[in-house]
């Protein structure tokens, strides 16, 4: 039995070495004092067809995946259950589109801080991958252009 456990561990190490999902340019919008919500944005690419199904961060009491939509000339956002990640295609979570809503913030988010974000991606077979990324806090006026060096 021990041998099998070791093999499973080895296999999972190999799997993580060949990550199915990569995340770039993760950032969070800075907050002003007393502000209890903020948005997190990033670019995510899955090697296989999958969905982003859960998000979280230790800085927030609650986190949701949101979609911003134009409804009757008003920008409105609503929670969505998941974001589709077509194989090999970079999907951008950006202001005005999909984003991670951080709610019940435990403190102000200051420019330059590094915030951990947890993402859960589920593939077609229901297999889940947990990804932890660090998001940089950018000033309120920051754009989600993502034209940053690597
Ligand atoms: Cu939102």
Residue 135 region by backbone torsions, left for phi larger than 0, else alpha for psi between -120 and 50, else beta: beta
pLDDT exceeds cutoff 70 at 6: no
Instruction: Flag whether 150 is in a domain.
Output: no
CA distance 95 to 74: 15
The residue range of the domain holding 25 is 20-138
Instruction: Flag whether 46 is in a domain.
Output: yes
CATH of the domain at 32: 2.60.40.1890
Query: In percent, how much of the chain has pLDDT > 90?
Result: 74
Contacts of 25 (CB under 8 A, 6+ apart): 41, 42, 43, 146, 148
Instruction: Flag whether 124 is in a domain.
Output: yes
Of the candidates 36, 31, 32, 66, the residue with the CA atom closest to the CA atom of residue 52: 66
Query: pLDDT tens across 102-148, in order?
Result: 999 999 999 999 999 999 999 999 999 999 999 999 997 755 443 44
Instruction: Flag whether 82 is in a domain.
Output: yes
* Separation of CA 125 and ligand 1 centre (Å): 29
* Separation of CA 37 and ligand 1 centre (Å): 9
CA distance 47 to 93: 17
* Separation of CA 97 and ligand 1 centre (Å): 9
Number of domains in the chain: 1
pLDDT exceeds cutoff 80 at 16: no
Instruction: Flag whether 9 is in a domain.
Output: no
CA distance 136 to 40: 9
pLDDT exceeds cutoff 80 at 39: yes
């Amino acid at each position: 039995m021990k041998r099998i456990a070791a093999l499973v561990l080895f296999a999972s190490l190999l799997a993580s070495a060949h990550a199915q999902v990569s995340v770039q340019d993760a950032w969070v919008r800075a907050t002003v004092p007393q502000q209890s919500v903020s948005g997190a944005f990033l670019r995510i690419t899955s090697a296989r067809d999958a969905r982003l199904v859960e998000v979280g961060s230790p800085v927030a009491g609650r986190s949701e995946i949101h979609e911003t939509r134009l409804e009757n000339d008003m920008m409105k956002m609503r929670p969505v259950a998941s974001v589709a990640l077509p194989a090999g295609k970079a999907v951008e979570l950006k202001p005005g589109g999909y984003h991670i809503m951080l709610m019940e913030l435990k403190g102000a988010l200051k420019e330059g801080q590094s915030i951990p974000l947890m993402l859960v991606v589920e593939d077609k077979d229901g297999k889940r991958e947990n990804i932890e990324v660090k998001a940089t806090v950018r000033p309120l006026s920051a754009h989600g252009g993502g034209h940053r060096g690597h």
